[in-house]
A and B are shown apart, each in its own frame.
Chain A
Amino acid sequence: MLKGMIFDVARAAMDDGPGVRTTIFLKGCPLRCPWCHNPESQRFSRESARDKYGKPVVYGQELTPQEILAIAERDRSFYRLSGGGVTFSGGEPLAQAAFLAESCRLCHEAGLHVCVDTSGFASEEAVHAVMPYVDLFLLDYKQTGEERHERDVGVPLSPVLDTLALLRREGKRVWLRCPIVPGYQDRPEHFRAIAALEREYPCIERVELMFFHTLGRHKYAQLRRRDPTADLTPFTEEEKEAFWRRLNDDEAQMGIDISERI
């Protein structure tokens, strides 16, 4: 039976697409972003850890697409009024393409709004398999420059841009999600590149800046792994504000209508 490896389910998720959503987190990711706040999402297999009280915690549970639908259905009444639905996130959900496609299909056919939150690092076949059942892609844009991208996250940038191009070609809706981490993406050319993508790809409806935070730090400790961002401190509210201004300026210069965001 088709099963997916899931490491978490978040109900009443507020930040994974429009409205109030149930987010299904698929385990396993080909990328290794140093700022990853879900280290338990990286490996494809089940793993165990201990929480701060020493109590064992297991990450990874196999679920069928039908079980996924049943979980997503529970909060249907909350999706309706908020314009929400179900989001598949990860890990990299497209890495479990067959399971993802079937789960998306079931949810879609049940009339739920479906988002897929992806790094974009996936085969064209995988994207094609899920595409018909997905209302909105939340696509990460993690780094500007081939070399930097490969160095920082461990995979090349071009497949990500290929995915974006494919989504444009197929007329899919996209929200571009951009992690902003101190020392990694906080440079002017990165913001210019985001603005350029937004101009070039009309399928991008919205850009989200996702600022570095430390909420995942304790999980590295639980898993007894080194936290690569242990030395970083989050941006202040003023700095975040400045990044938004910077992006808006770049966009304005390129003639992108940003009225909605202000």
Chain B
Amino acid sequence: MKRRWELTFQKEYEAWEGKSAALRELACLRVQFPAILQSVRDGDLLAGIASYRAVGFSPKDDEEFGWYLRPGMMEKEIAEAEGEERAELEVVRDYFLSRRGKAVTRACMDEETNRVLPSDDLEDDYPAYPLYRMTGCIVDYHRLLDGGIPGLREEVRAAARKNPGHEDFYEALLGALDLLADCCRFYARQCAELACQAGDARQWELRTMAANLEAVAKRAPQTFWEAAQLSWLYSIVAHTLDYGRMDDYLGTYLARDLKSGAVTPELAQRIVDSMWLLIADKRTTVHGRVMVGGMGRRDPESADLFIRYAFEATRHVRRNEPQLSMRWYEGMDPELLHLAMRLLGEGTTFPILYNDDANVPNVGKAFGVSREDAEQYYPFGCGEYVIGGRSFGSPNGVLNVARVLELTLHGGKSPDTGRQIAPPCGESFSTFEELYAAYLASAEHFIRFLAKQEAAEYEAAGKMAPFLLLSLCYDDCVARGEGMFSGGLRYLGGTLESYGNITASDSLLAIRKLVYDERRVPLRELVRALDGDFPDEALRQLCLDAPKYGNANREADEMASRMHDDLCRLVAAQAEANGLSTYLPVLINNDHNVKFGKHTGATADGRKKGAPLTNGNSPSGGMDRSGLTSLLTSMASLSGEQNAGMVQNLRLGKDQLIRCRDKTEALIRAYFSLGGTQLMVTAVSTRELRDAMARPELYQNLFVRVGGYSGRFISLPRPVQLDIISRTAYGEA
């Protein structure tokens, strides 16, 4: 019987224990690849599918990173194994339990940080949690494609000559490049074998794929198909889940081949479609970002051509990934925005639109980088910005600010259990400013420890491994002779995911008006009503009637901005002390607004206990009642100068996007001209959503933007479906 792969992996790791981390990673990668690579499927025009095992090495695996362990999968293997093998597997499990990302991170966190952030279960009642991952790998694909594998090899050798004392690292990098070439050859052989059994048309495809793979194993890619193949296989082996500025790194090859006739438009489209399908089939839900458009591309004209193929692929492959995103600026080909609007009108939820005219200057300020660097900003995953190829900013802490406000109103104690969770702050505040200051102080407490935790997590990652394949394609790891997380990266920053921001700011305003300005209700009484989930409907009505963000209401927007600016400042202030290049908040959303909402009591904006919190910096569901221009005005009012991204969800009736497409496009451009940073558009009416809940079988292809990701509506949990329905739809007929 074949020896279990996990045992080999563990033995290899153990053999290198206490020696070079770089060579250890290489040795284990050699066990992992090509072993976990899966067969090319019928119809694939690009080779590269990986199926990760119960243990292994990856920058991000589920809720883990580095030397990871999938407990569920491992237990299953153990249950299946017998006798000695079972015992051996148990040893492997126990071995990695203490060496995996989570454990190493916790060990790097000091005692106090562990105490403030005790729980990894987001369904607990804390306002802050750590996440374990090295996510958001946006590598510089030009580094890979320009010179191919041999080009990188040359660069590594040259750096090694200039930079003595890092022999292990350089040796491991060269080994990783050999491994990548081996993976190319592995698939080349496989394609050649499959070709022997294939029909005529497929045979030609497989033979060409084999030739492409052979070619890129030993030289730089020369055709569009080769470049697409090499970039894809690299992404698989390095395990990046977002795919960079694809129009920028593939556009030139595409344009050249189309011009020379080396590829027909039909074949080029099928290659892009194949890439889309491979991305979709990875089913990451929140990753799979493909960016097109924007400033700072090498060859914009060719890149624009690629965008048309990307749009068409999204039209063909109707899935929730890739999360096709388009960076836009005034001056880009307006036809591309027309095409984007058309695609959105078809209900694809893509492309997600980003406004470079606002974002490039904002990123320059927030990250403190040059315009040239800022032009390479990239929203990965749910929408967190990094500087592609140059910075890392894994979002590894989450903060529920609505819960922080709730705790503040209770002297730092959980109203349900009476447990002291936040620092004690008293419960009576004679002025609004006193309350606000206590709220910020409480938020700062958690932010401080989340920042420490982020730094600890990078320390853990740096100890674990240099992440060789990624380090090859990030500035300045090769030149410095260091892995990404041990000094190699140009900018090592962090991000903090903040939830329930608008719930909190609308609540603060309601408290200020009702308790302090108008003296309609004493604070104590209001808090009691919140604790009882509004037993008195009249009081709730007062809360609901207070001004709400999303209506271009000055007071509500100012409160949102004030709180936003203060929180951004508090987060950013933590960078230096923790040795991070930046530490920035993101107002993104997955479905945490629903999850955290479940564990947050009633709030003074009129929200009932357990109801979803606001999503990104979108208004409370249904509270934006003053028309689309007002919503867009509110959303554009929050500054992007001290954060790493905010997501804005907009639900439009199909009618609006189809019948009034030009006017809607003008609205979006106007919103961008006001400084709006981003927009995610779902084109679906409330009627359709309700009908889809009742008759899901008829709505297999109905996609909605949940937050920072798109989902098949009928597959979403019911509370998330209801949250989406509660959001105002504009232009519904």
Contact = CB atoms under 8 A, between A and B. Distances in A.
A20 B671 CA distance: 12
B666 A10 contact: no
Contacts of A82: 662-663, 666-667, 670
Nearest to B666: A82
Nearest to A15: B660
Contacts of A11: 626-630
Given A74-B633, A75-B629, A78-B632, A14 B663 contact: yes
B731 interface: yes
B673 interface: yes
B669 A20 contact: no
Contacts of A10: 627
Interface string B597-639: 0000000000000000000000000000011111011000000
Interface in A61-88: 74-75, 77-78, 80-84
B730 interface: yes
B656 interface: yes
Nearest to B671: A78
Contacts of A39: none
B627 A12 contact: yes
A28 interface: no
B731 A14 contact: yes
A4 interface: no
A81 B669 contact: yes
A12 B730 contact: yes
B628 A77 contact: no
Contacts of B87: none
B552 interface: yes
Interface string A4-44: 00000011111000011010000000000000000000000
A211 B633 CA distance: 32
A19 B632 CA distance: 16
A84 B663 CA distance: 9
Contacts of B627: 10-13
Interface SS of B by simple majority: helix
Given A78-B666, A82-B666, A12 B629 contact: yes
A84 to B, nearest CB: 8
Contact of B628 (A12, A81, A83, A84): A12
B633 A81 contact: no
Contact of B673 (A13, A74, A81, A84): A81
B674 interface: yes
A132 B552 CA distance: 32
A7 B717 CA distance: 41
B663 A19 contact: yes
B660 A14 contact: yes
Contact of B667 (A22, A74, A78): A78
Interface string B632-663: 11000000000000000000000010001011
Interface residues of A, number: 17
A243 B731 CA distance: 24
Interface string B673-701: 11000000000000000000000000000
Given A12-B667, A12-B730, A78 B629 contact: yes
Contacts of B674: 77
A14 B670 CA distance: 15
Contacts of B669: 81
Contacts of B632: 78
A30 B632 CA distance: 37
Contact of B666 (A22, A74, A83): A83
A109 to B, nearest CB: 22
Residue from B628, B629, B670, B730 with most neighbouring chain A CB atoms (10 Å): B629
A54 to B, nearest CB: 13
Nearest to B673: A77
Nearest to B659: A14
Contacts of B633: 74-75
A125 B542 CA distance: 47
A76 to B, nearest CB: 9
A19 B669 CA distance: 13
A196 to B, nearest CB: 28
A4 to B, nearest CB: 20
B663 A80 contact: no
A175 to B, nearest CB: 15
Contacts of A77: 670, 673-674
A20 B552 contact: no
Residue from A10, A80, A81, A83 with most neighbouring chain B CB atoms (10 Å): A81
A81 B630 contact: no
Nearest to A22: B629
Contacts of B671: 78
Interface in A151-206: none
Nearest to A215: B733
Contacts of A22: 629
Nearest to B552: A74
A35 B731 CA distance: 22
Nearest to A83: B666
Contacts of B628: 11-12
Contacts of A78: 629, 632, 666-667, 670-671
Contacts of A13: 627
A20 B626 contact: no
Given A14-B656, A82-B663, A20 B629 contact: yes
A75 B670 CA distance: 10
A19 B629 contact: no
Residue from B552, B662, B666, B731 with most neighbouring chain A CB atoms (10 Å): B666
A19 B627 CA distance: 15
Nearest to A79: B670
Contacts of B656: 14
Nearest to B631: A12
A20 B730 CA distance: 13
A192 to B, nearest CB: 27
B662 to A, nearest CB: 8
B198 to A, nearest CB: 47
A81 B666 contact: yes
Interface string A131-144: 00000000000000
Contact of A20 (B630, B667, B673): B667
Residue from B630, B633, B670, B673 with most neighbouring chain A CB atoms (10 Å): B670
Contacts of B662: 82
Interface string B697-724: 0000000000000000000000000000
Contacts of B663: 14, 19-20, 82, 84
A12 B728 CA distance: 14
A147 B111 CA distance: 90
A12 B625 CA distance: 12
Contact of A81 (B626, B660, B670): B670
Nearest to B330: A81
Interface string B111-130: 00000000000000000000
Given A12-B628, A12-B629, A75-B629, A19 B666 contact: yes
Contacts of A84: 663, 666
A84 B667 CA distance: 10
Residue from A12, A20, A74, A83 with most neighbouring chain B CB atoms (10 Å): A12
Nearest to B662: A82
B420 to A, nearest CB: 42
Nearest to B655: A14
B664 to A, nearest CB: 8
A84 B694 CA distance: 40
A13 B674 CA distance: 19
Given A11-B626, A12-B629, A20 B731 contact: no
18 contacts: A11-B627, A11-B630, A12-B628, A12-B630, A13-B627, A14-B663, A20-B629, A20-B663, A20-B670, A22-B629, A74-B629, A74-B630, A74-B633, A78-B629, A80-B670, A81-B669, A82-B663, A84-B663
Minimum-distance CB pairs A-B, first 3: A82-B666, A11-B627, A12-B628
Interface of B: 552, 626-630, 632-633, 656, 660, 662-663, 666-667, 669-671, 673-674, 730-731
Given A12-B630, A14-B660, A74-B633, 8 more contacts: A11-B629, A11-B630, A74-B552, A78-B666, A78-B671, A82-B662, A82-B663, A82-B670
